[in-house]
Structure 1
Amino acid sequence: MKINMTRWMQDIIRRKDIAAIPVMTHPGIEIIGETVLRAVSDGNVHHKAIEALAKKYPTAAATVIMDLTVEAEAFGAEISFPENEVPAVIGHMLNSPEDIERLKVPSLRAGRMPEYIKANLLAARSITDRPVLGGCIGPFSLAGRLYDMSEIMILIYQNPEAAHTLLAKCTEYILRYCKALKETGVNGVVMAEPAAGLMSDEDCKRFSSDYVKQIVDQVQDDYFTIILHNCGNTGHCTKAMAATGAGAYHFGNKCDMAEVIREIPPTALAMGNLDPVSVFKESTPEAMHKATAELLGRMRDYPNFVLSSGCDTPPYTPFANIDAFFEELEEYNRKNS
């Protein structure tokens, strides 16, 4: 459904009640009785999980699975597929600057990419009461999965030219993917760039944000928004994130939400940041109520705040905890609207 995302974000900032967009799809997989493996391999199953979750919870937007392997797989990386856990990249496929030079940018028909595009297309068609947000990896995080995370950190200092060559190829592919997602009718994309949090603010800008900005400049408009996610940021590279010009920013639980939001333009959304593991998955409903209430109280003075998980909620997150999250938000909004 065509939604003016600029107006949608302005409305969230303007209204008194707080919106919630937890990044979660795995509970939807469990609602429909499927496995993670099936959801990350079959666009129809993936779509049904997104749709089921949208029907169950009053999220301000629907999100797809945060899968940081699908682009790497398209390039040729080996992927592990547990039945009920998120996929993972096995090892790395590039070992030298020469390998980077030889690396070909794949087509959008490689690997599971067609199934992900299908899931986004079906979700955009069936969920019409709120925005649907696709997902992709960020350039530096993709480069790290192809070259090895430790090795890419060494490469940016020893051979920055080779690192920039790899980042340019990663960016070209992610840009193609974002354009394809935009054509499906989804209203934006959550770009997961957690590895950028390993760098200083200056290096984050040079080796991540400058490339993310290239994508933002070419695909973001009134009807399509980039939400930049960096759960590796502890607060040290928020300025670099903001330099991308993304419409919204999503933060992990390692940072102080009340601190990082001050470095985000007041016209952009700042989303976060309850711990997806220790709070969403492993705590009790009582602890979830308390953590949600505390975060809402601390963010009271920031109209552009959106309540969210700090990252994708993992498989087997208890529904009682998710229910408590929304119950606490509803209570807060009732008292403060």
Structure 2
Amino acid sequence: MMKTTMKQWIDSIIKNNNTVAVPVMTHPGIELINHTVKEACCDGQVHFEAIKALAEKYPTAAATVIMDLTVEAEAFGAEIHFTEDAVPAVIGHMLNNADDIKALKVPSLKAARVPAYLKANLQSARAISDRPVLSGCIGPFSLAGRLYDMSEIMVLIYQDPDAAHTLLAKCTEFILKYCKALKATGVDGVVMAEPAAGLMSDDDCKRFSSDYVKYIVEQVQDDTFSVVLHNCGNTGHCTKAMVATGSAAYHFGNKCDMREVIKDVPPTALAMGNIDPVSVFKEGTPEQMYETTTRLLQDMKQYPNFVLSSGCDTPPHTPTENIDAFFKALDDYNNSL
């Protein structure tokens, strides 16, 4: 465990004149240790070694795990498609109506790959002591969409909101249980990925996502453990609903304007984002990365609670030259202050 609590870590970031970086980045670590994405997603030891390798190579302010939005759905019984070099994907959907929702059982933490992810977090918490380790989980609405089908869940919330709430309650029950187990491993927080909530209006996002996220936050967040709410589906229209969860930090995708969304984030909470993980991190040139990062840092100059990050998980085969340019831009910016 860190010598400082998460509350102290957040306070120190806000009080520090320099900006820090916490890119959501594990895939470059998998490549560093010569393993495949499939191996890291199925073997907790490989996953941990990738996290550790990245922490040793890059000056991130926190270490992060893979953003895998299939772990919880698989535990419920969803079919998952694996390839060697891409993140897993849910195949089809397993629920078709209100009766299916009613019959759905909340799984145990021994189901599917949950034990492998708990192992990766436990090993990381034990081995990495110079910075926080942020675990990962899916958000309630995004999980519900993977079980019921994303298009169909959008219809269900209007046609049968009671059934939708029943499903969300079951998803929340499992995610809360998982987050408590992650906290027990000794990690310092969790990045909760709730991108599907960005498909809704601010009001619906609050009713069908944020109210459930808030319930989890109230159960697990304290001075030693923080929830980072990630919603890369938010274009700026549901930031208020995100903030209503009371999370310690908010992580934004590249679809939104950081200059606008940060205005809705409380000054005591971190606002993290939002360099495009595909067009800049993976497909851009080092020069483009440097320029884009520098521009974002300049835009965020007046916000001490800003944390530089990728807009989402950096994809497999992101060039190391671009990652180096990202950190070079941060160094040059901080040295210019």
Common topology (TM > 0.5)? yes
Q: Which amino acid aligns with 1:214?
A: Y
Q: Which amino acid aligns with 2:121?
A: N
CA distance in 2, matches of 1:83, 1:293: 34
CA distance in 2, matches of 1:67, 1:185: 20
* C-alpha deviation, 1:318, in angstroms: 0.2
Query: What is the correspondence of 1:229-240 to structure 2 with a 5 Å cutoff?
Result: 229-240=230-241
* C-alpha deviation, 1:100, in angstroms: 0.1
- Tell me the secondary structure at the aligned position of residue 87 of structure 1: strand
Gaps of 5+ in 1: none
Q: Which amino acid aligns with 1:200?
A: S
CA distance in 2, matches of 1:34, 1:308: 24
C-alpha distance after superposition, 1:270-309 (max 9, x if no partner):
0000000000000000000000011001001000000000
C-alpha distance after superposition, 1:244-276 (max 9, x if no partner):
000000000000001000001000000000000
Aligned length: 336
* C-alpha deviation, 1:53, in angstroms: 0.2
- Match in the other structure for 2:215: 214
- Tell me the secondary structure at the aligned position of residue 9 of structure 1: helix
- Tell me the secondary structure at the aligned position of residue 271 of structure 1: strand
* C-alpha deviation, 1:316, in angstroms: 0.1
CA distance in 2, matches of 1:166, 1:20: 36
* C-alpha deviation, 1:142, in angstroms: 0.1
- Match in the other structure for 2:330: 329
Q: Which amino acid aligns with 1:300?
A: K
CA distance in 2, matches of 1:19, 1:168: 36
Query: What is the correspondence of 1:1-337 to structure 2 with a 5 Å cutoff?
Result: 1-2=1-2, 3-336=4-337
Q: Which amino acid aligns with 1:183?
A: A
**Alignment root-mean-square deviation, CA:** 0.4
CA distance in 2, matches of 1:313, 1:207: 28
Gaps of 5+ in 2: none
- Tell me the secondary structure at the aligned position of residue 81 of structure 1: strand
- Tell me the secondary structure at the aligned position of residue 135 of structure 1: strand
CA distance in 1, matches of 2:12, 2:172: 31
CA distance in 1, matches of 2:259, 2:188: 27
After TM superposition, the score normalised by the length of structure 2 is 0.99
* C-alpha deviation, 1:79, in angstroms: 0.1
